[in-house]
Amino acid sequence: MQVSGNSDRGTSEESVWWALYTRHQHEKAVAEMLAAKGLEIFLPLYQSQRRWKDRRMMLSLPLFPCYLFVRGGGPDRRSQVVTTPGVHMIISRGEEAAEIPEGEIQAIRRSLEGRFRVEPHPFLKCGQRVRVKRGSLEGLEGILVRKKNQCRLVLNVNMLAQSVGVEIDASDVEPAAA
């Protein structure tokens, strides 16, 4: 869902993107209310098929649950944003609203416009401890590493001070409990 409001942005403060944290499952309603106030909104959605006993449905769900993006508007517009029903807060760093780089917004837009299957995925970093969530290795934990654009799961045998690496699809792992 891309909702555009007022596009006469003059200052650089008014052309930056902010991330908003919203009430659970209120992203679309918040986006509509903010657009009605003249703000430019970006709510990336993906298609997900859900099954019930008697039917299947394709749903449009937020790519980032409980978040949406709004293009600035300056300090005078912040009070309009945070007083909108369903908005918990503007994501910030200290006292300042955290700016989302235009390149990150454009990367999300391009991936949604392409023929790619886009869906949420846990945020993973190389070197992070992960757990395999499906397949023959389900339940195993290891360290996620990369080798020539491939994801690898490194499994340790501590008693032998040895490790093995196995190629794995990044979508088959999730962060391990701390």
pLDDT in tens, 15-55: 889 999 999 999 999 999 999 999 999 999 999 999 989 99
Higher pLDDT, 127 or 35: 35
Q: Is the pTM of this model over 0.75?
A: no
Query: Rounded mean pLDDT of 87-110?
Result: 91
Residue 140's pLDDT band (cuts 50, 70, 90): confident
Whole-angstrom distance between the N-terminal and C-terminal Cα of the chain?
Answer: 35
Contact of 175 with 165, CB cutoff 8 Å? no
Domain boundaries, the chain: 2-113, 129-175
CATH no., domain 2-113: 3.30.70.940
Contact of 13 with 74, CB cutoff 8 Å? yes
- Name 153's Cβ contacts closer than 8 Å, sequence gap at least 6: 130, 132, 137, 140, 142, 143, 144, 145, 165, 166, 168, 173
Q: Which two tokens stand for residue 130?
A: 């992960």
Contact of 90 with 97, CB cutoff 8 Å? yes
